[in-house]
Structure 1
């Protein structure tokens, strides 16, 4: 039995066991590699995703919305071209 009195239950270490607090170094790049899609318009839009690596998390939404808008516009153009 452990010191908690419950067999198999081990108390979680307290904050003192975690070591000294680590200073926030700011955003850290995720290192995501963007593979070319073969469509230059789509590839140009996807490059914007790299901006998220340079921004704090709360600013990622703007980047994702820009990319989504760009992809939607590109797909709409491709669809319109196929209808012609």
Structure 2
């Protein structure tokens, strides 16, 4: 049996104490984000990850920013040149509304 004295652990090698649990602290939502193939949309979806590192009151700013970016991406899709939209078609099988009796 050895009578060795445990060595003192230097300050730098001591394990850090775990931080106390704070339910109000930011916590990652860890929602998976699947790429869409559209660079603008994918960038906005990645931006949602920023909310993981913010307190709840900071989420609104991120969500509004992402919403604005997605709306702009959708508007840009509508503005791209392409074939003209088809004209509205009406069902010719349906009877016309009658606005009074002309008999």
- Same fold? TM cut 0.5: yes
**Equivalent residues in 2 for 1:19-58, closer than 5 Å:** 23-24=21-22, 26-58=25-57
SS in 2 for 1:73: helix
**RMSD of aligned alpha carbons:** 1.9
Q: Which runs of 5+ in 2 are unaligned?
A: 1-19, 84-103
Rg comparison, structure with higher value? 2
Distance in 2 between the 1:35 and 1:62 partners?
Answer: 22
Partner SS, residue 80 of structure 2: helix
Name segments (4+ residues, structure 1) moved above 2 Å: none
Give the Cα–Cα distance (whole angstroms) in 1 for the partners of residues 59 and 66 of structure 2.
Answer: 11
Task: Give the TM-score of the pair, scaled to structure 2.
Answer: 0.56
